[in-house]
Structure 1
Amino acid sequence: MATFVLVPGAWLGAWAWEDTARALRERGHIALPMTLTGLGENADRADRHANLETHIADITGFVERHALHDVTLVAHSYAAAPVTGAAGRLGERLARVVYVDSAPFAQGMSMLDLLSPQETEQLRGRVVDADGWRLPLPSFEELGASSSLEGLGEDERELLRSRATPHPFGTYEQPLTGPAEPAPGVDHVLVACSDFTALLEAGVPMLAFLSQPPWRRFDLATGHWPMLSAATALADVLDTAVT
């Protein structure tokens, strides 16, 4: 039995993990989805000062508040940034870190470092047009241009569209500081969905480390939101990764 803490990506809350968490519990695991500040049911608990440190504190506080040990910490997409920070601070509480369609951040790196200057300016424009500090969910046409929507039917798209929350943009702007490496002996797992798998197979240099020890890689043939498009299959992969 493993203890999973499931951290959602941008615009999402704990709700996104419901089906995967249920499937993990059916397999005998403890599965605890969480919601970061400013998102989901915590949408009213943030202001323009929310940043990456806020979300790192959310994760470490969740683990400590629930007195958890031997934690398998799971990051989807954007959550790779705060999960990397939290993994460096949880010490012996952490048994394993799993990156779902994402990768760990280096110290000094921010989400905006993953984007071109043009893409960054486009995002800043959307933030200003919204309320000056939150980034709305892009349209599915825009998301489909950069991330696979494979496996998301109309019901899943409507769920994402209706429950997504504008994301605090300060979490994209602030670089990761503090320890960025988990304690020695922590297991490292990557779950790569279709587009990410293609990047790895293409031999992108900055991702080469993910195909080398101590990393263990699992491929999942679905789009960027596997907890919505392939919830049971994702639970199967996570179950396999901890057994």
Structure 2
Amino acid sequence: MSTFVLVPGFWLGAWAWRGVVEPLRAAGHTAYPVTLTGLADRAHLAGPSVDLDTHIADVVNLITHEDLHDVVLVGHSGSGIVVTGAADRIPERIARVVYVDSGPVADGLSQFDLFPPHVQEETKAGLVDGWRHPFPSWARHEANGASLAGLGEVERAAMTARVTDHPAGAITQPLTLTGAGAALPKTLVTCSFPLEQVRAMIEARHPYFAALAGPEWDFHELPTGHWPMFSRPADTAEVLIKAA
């Protein structure tokens, strides 16, 4: 049986993984969904000082304080940078890093650096109090390339009722890596894009996908939108078990 630590993407908390955690535990696995500082049930800790290092420390501290080993560390969407940083800090405790419709970020870059220029401008212009990044409209998500496949009115309403503003410092602070986690086994679970398209971008040495060409990578496809924990939760659990 595997031990999963599940880190949600922007604006979400541990609650987002509920539909995935239940089948994982029912299958005999251990699952720890994470709420990062300043979000969801930890929104009272939000502030301009919350940054990427804070969120990496959230994951590292959970793993070390629970004394977890052979962890399958799962990051969705914008938390790909968080799990990359956490795996670099404590590689001896990580069995595999899984990126769900996400990917690694290189040393010295921030998540903000990966946004297209127009999204960078939208993000800066939309900050509240200079540090809170609100959840965009569904139309804006779609316009910026986030697939909404599988999200009906019920799922969208449930999400928007519980999302919280994301601390901007966690988006803009560059990642610092030592390289300690570089050789760890890694998995990409592609949802929004067909796996064939991802492989083509890897072969073309696309800047965001070139790092996925190494022998430590394997791939799984789960055709749905950008939020598979809501659109196909049971199938998300199944593909994580396969990846592990």
Do both share a fold (TM > 0.5)?
yes
Offset at residue 182 of structure 1 (A): 1.1
Offset at residue 201 of structure 1 (A): 4.6
Offset at residue 116 of structure 1 (A): 2.7
Output one character per residue of 1:175-208: Cα deviation in whole Å (capped at 9) or x when no partner.
0013254164x32111001336464154252214
Counterpart amino acid of residue 212 in structure 2? L
Greater Cα shift, 133-142 or 197-206: 197-206
Aligned partner of 2:152 in structure 1 is 153
Distance in 1 of aligned mates of 2:81 and 2:163: 19
Identity over aligned pairs, percent: 47
Distance in 1 of aligned mates of 2:177 and 2:214: 25
Aligned partner of 2:124 in structure 1 is 124
Contact persistence 1:92–1:183 (CA under 8 A): no
Offset at residue 91 of structure 1 (A): 2.5
Distance in 2 of aligned mates of 1:229 and 1:181: 34
Match of 1:137 among 135, 138, 143: 135
Output one character per residue of 1:89-123: Cα deviation in whole Å (capped at 9) or x when no partner.
11311111000001111110101111233321211
Output one character per residue of 1:10-68: Cα deviation in whole Å (capped at 9) or x when no partner.
00000000010101111110011010001110011121011100101111011111111
Q: What is the SS of the residue equivalent to 2:161?
A: helix
Distance in 2 of aligned mates of 1:209 and 1:202: 13
Counterpart amino acid of residue 59 in structure 1? V
Contact persistence 1:27–1:239 (CA under 8 A): no
Distance in 1 of aligned mates of 2:174 and 2:83: 13
Runs of 4 or more off by more than 4 Å in structure 1?
Answer: none
Residue 188 in structure 1 maps to residue 190 in structure 2:
no
Taking a change above 3 Å as real, the CA distance of residues 199 and 136 of structure 1, as seen in their structure-2 partners, is: farther
Q: What is the SS of the residue equivalent to 2:89?
A: coil
Match of 2:217 among 215, 218, 223: 215
Q: 5+ residue gaps in structure 1?
A: none
Taking a change above 3 Å as real, the CA distance of residues 119 and 194 of structure 1, as seen in their structure-2 partners, is: closer
Greater Cα shift, 191-200 or 69-78: 191-200
Q: 5+ residue gaps in structure 2?
A: none
Aligned partner of 1:229 in structure 2 is 231
Counterpart amino acid of residue 240 in structure 1? K
Distance in 2 of aligned mates of 1:98 and 1:232: 17
Taking a change above 3 Å as real, the CA distance of residues 159 and 42 of structure 1, as seen in their structure-2 partners, is: same
Distance in 2 of aligned mates of 1:190 and 1:27: 22
Residue 240 in structure 1 maps to residue 242 in structure 2:
yes
Offset at residue 154 of structure 1 (A): 1.2
Counterpart amino acid of residue 170 in structure 1? G
**RMSD between aligned alpha carbons?**
1.5
Contact persistence 1:85–1:179 (CA under 8 A): no
Aligned partner of 2:31 in structure 1 is 31
* TM-score (normalised: structure 2): 0.93
Contact persistence 1:189–1:217 (CA under 8 A): yes
Q: How many residues align?
A: 239
Output one character per residue of 1:131-175: Cα deviation in whole Å (capped at 9) or x when no partner.
221100000011112110000111110111100000000111100
Aligned partner of 2:163 in structure 1 is 164
Contact persistence 1:112–1:173 (CA under 8 A): yes
Distance in 2 of aligned mates of 1:40 and 1:30: 22
Greater Cα shift, 116-125 or 189-198: 189-198
Contact persistence 1:211–1:217 (CA under 8 A): no
Distance in 1 of aligned mates of 2:160 and 2:55: 23
Q: What is the SS of the residue equivalent to 1:99?
A: strand
